[in-house]
Homo-oligomer: A and B are copies of this chain.
Amino acid sequence: MSAAAASRPIGVFDSGVGGLTVVRALMERLPLEDIVYFGDTARVPYGVKSVATIEHFTAQITEFLLQRDVKMLIIACNTMAAVAAEVVHRLAAGIPVLDVIEAGARAAVAASPGRRIGVIGTPTTINSNAYARRMHELDPTVRVYSQACPLFVPLVEEGWLEHEVTRLTAQEYLRPVLAEEVDSLVLGCTHYPLLKPLLRDVAGLHVRLIDSALTTAEFAAERLQQAGLARTGGVADYRFVVSDVPLRFQTIGERFLGRSLGTVEKVDW
């Protein structure tokens, strides 16, 4: 593979700002790589929409990033990965496509000696059963216990990361999963890494938390190496594109990214 091919950016996308936790992990794991991020902030959240609508939006975003000449596509949104990954693979025409569910499922199966895995996510992600299906393909002996946590995204966006309300909500959501004595818990939504300290408290130290942002970055590094597409020099360039620049976007985005966003580009759809 040529250096020119390797110098193209990685395309990362999400329904909103959550995927910035994946970008943050990619920046740390692959500091030489250019990244183009797309967040569909005009139509967020996807987690409560129908499959047909999510597929339609996903196709639009994929085509947008392909026009930016990306060398790899990362679906940094559990909802899109759960119900519309096929759409991306079909459109990508040979470019590697990774997603947070694939990465999280692999990491969870590898990290669960007791074969009992918990998964938390948005209602659409959980109802799609995508994590359980993928984990069973990887290891038919695992037992998967899933729980939808619809309030976690708004709690994270409110910034109540260590708040008593968030703790009570987490205790209520996690109770049935923890009762199954899982040995790992997949944070099946890109917002959830920000709740890690609180979730670690509620789940207890014996439960391993699988952060899909970190596992996706690790998986991307492997795939770039395999494909001979890893960049070996230069200074990384980051572009952030959104479909709306809502109130508090900079504040919330920077909380996810862990650093300044710089200039944000807006598309009109």
Contacts and interface: CB of A to CB of B under 8 A. Distances in A.
Interface of A: 41-44, 48-50, 53, 123-124, 127, 150-151, 153-155, 157-158, 160, 164-165, 168-169, 172, 244-248
Contacts of A124: 247
Contacts of A123: 247-248
Contacts of A44: 48
A132 to B, nearest CB: 17
A43 B247 CA distance: 16
Contacts of A127: 247
Going nearest first, the 8 A-B pairs with the smallest beta carbon separation are A154-B154, A53-B244, A48-B246, A49-B246, A165-B168, A165-B169, A50-B244, A42-B53
Q: How many copies does the complex hold?
A: 2
A164 B164 CA distance: 11
Nearest to A168: B165
Given A42-B53, A150-B157, A158-B151, A247 B165 contact: no
Contact of A244 (B42, B49, B153, B247): B49
Nearest to A163: B172
A159 to B, nearest CB: 10
Contacts of A246: 48-50, 53
A154 B245 CA distance: 21
A152 to B, nearest CB: 10
Contact of A150 (B48, B49, B158, B168): B158
A154 B150 contact: yes
Contacts of A158: 150-151
A49 B41 CA distance: 8
B247 A50 contact: yes
Contact of A48 (B53, B151, B172, B247): B247
Nearest to A155: B151
Given A48-B157, A165-B165, 15 more contacts: A42-B43, A42-B49, A42-B53, A43-B43, A44-B48, A49-B247, A50-B244, A50-B246, A53-B246, A123-B247, A151-B158, A153-B154, A165-B168, A165-B172, A168-B168
